[in-house]
Structure 1
Amino acid sequence: MSSITAQSRITLHFELALDDGQIVDSNFEQVPATFNFGDGSLLPAFEEALLGLEKGSEASFVMPPEKAFGAHNESNLQRIPRAQFDMDLQEGMVVSFADVSKNELPGVIAEIGAEDVLVDFNHPLAGRTLTFKVQIISVEETA
């Protein structure tokens, strides 16, 4: 039986959960995901956790923020004049902005003031410890 290496094509079920057990993402009730190791489908630390697992393996890994989506960065909070928004705003809503290169950049409305709006451009899971649970369905070598 082959185990996962940096040359593997992996099919798996996965689940991401917060410290309190709230499930953020899961495909256990859906079609399993298939990807090639190193193709960018998973964060590097999540891929590294899979190394050595075999078909049929089930495992759970606690991923601190620095191995998941990074620390919450205060410099990613920006105040934007409220007049720049031509929509009804609600705290918690995600708004799409264009960065200087015209790339789409999502931001979460963190606070709505009379004059300005505080927008959080951190990844929604930044600063969170996550539990990454997997069930390996198949492992194939690609090279």
Structure 2
Amino acid sequence: MHIEKDIVVSIHYRLNDDQGNEIENSFGNEPMVYLHGHNNMIPGLEKELEGKQPGDQFKVSVSPEDGYGPYVDGLKQQIPSEGFEGLDPKIGMEFTADTENGPIQVRVLEITEEFVTVDGNHPFAGKTLHFDVDITEIRDATPTELDHGHIHAGGGCCGSEEPEEEEEEAVVEEAPAKEDKPEEGTCCGGCH
């Protein structure tokens, strides 16, 4: 079995910036799991995973165009402080803002007495991302996962429901056991 559309993929990864600084690391924690071919992974990394199998390891650099896109200056805005009345914004805080194009996730960059500066760009927008990837497991997606277009952690929809009765046991292919353990690290929950 190899990675292709409609396969559930489990990976461990280490993500570094251009200076070699570690941004994320899933080793030592649960692997990141996603449904391949359903826009659940940044395009550049998903393309590199295509055709691979459990036990494969590789390094790849993903350009902004194949990652989180270019940094868009227009998504950085100063909002009058009175718009935050009753709230206590802090630098780094993230929240959903309603815009004329629909809701977007924004991050607080700066706070002055008059304005709160927010940024609607993804934190990795405009950055080349350097991944070290270890494919740990793949399996066929369940019919419900295919219908919904994403995996069901814990058996239910995103781990929030009990598994459906008619779901069949998925065939899982794991990577061969390794003697050395992966490095300890932290993970923010996957490739966003």
Cα distance between partner residues in 2 of 1:140 and 1:95 = 34
- The alpha-carbon distance between structure 1 residues 104 and 94, as it changes in their structure 2 partners (threshold 3 A), is farther
1:76 is aligned to 75
* Higher RCO, 1 vs 2 (CA within 8 Å, ≥6 residues apart): 1
The answer to whether the Cα contact below 8 Å between 1:96 and 1:104 also exists between their aligned partners in 2 is no
1:61 is aligned to 60
1:129 is aligned to 128
Matched, 1:117 2:109: no
Aligned-pair CA distance for 1:114: 4.1
- Residue 60 of structure 1 aligns to a residue whose secondary structure is strand
Alignment deviations for residues 47-97 of structure 1 (CA, whole Å, 9 cap, x no partner): 11101222211101101111111111011011211222234444x422424
Gaps of 5+ in 2: 143-192
Provide runs of 4+ in structure 1 moved above 6 Å.
none
Cα distance between partner residues in 2 of 1:7 and 1:120 = 34
2:163 is aligned to none
1:32 is aligned to 31
- Residue 111 of structure 1 aligns to a residue whose secondary structure is strand
Cα distance between partner residues in 2 of 1:9 and 1:88 = 41
- The alpha-carbon distance between structure 1 residues 104 and 24, as it changes in their structure 2 partners (threshold 3 A), is farther
Cα distance between partner residues in 1 of 2:73 and 2:99 = 20
Cα distance between partner residues in 2 of 1:51 and 1:31 = 22
- Residue 3 of structure 2 aligns to a residue whose secondary structure is coil
The amino acid that maps onto 1:134 is V
Cα distance between partner residues in 1 of 2:129 and 2:135 = 19
The answer to whether the Cα contact below 8 Å between 2:5 and 2:38 also exists between their aligned partners in 1 is no
Equivalent pairs: percent with the same residue? 28
Gaps of 5+ in 1: none
Tell me whether 40-49 or 120-129 shows the greater mean CA deviation.
40-49
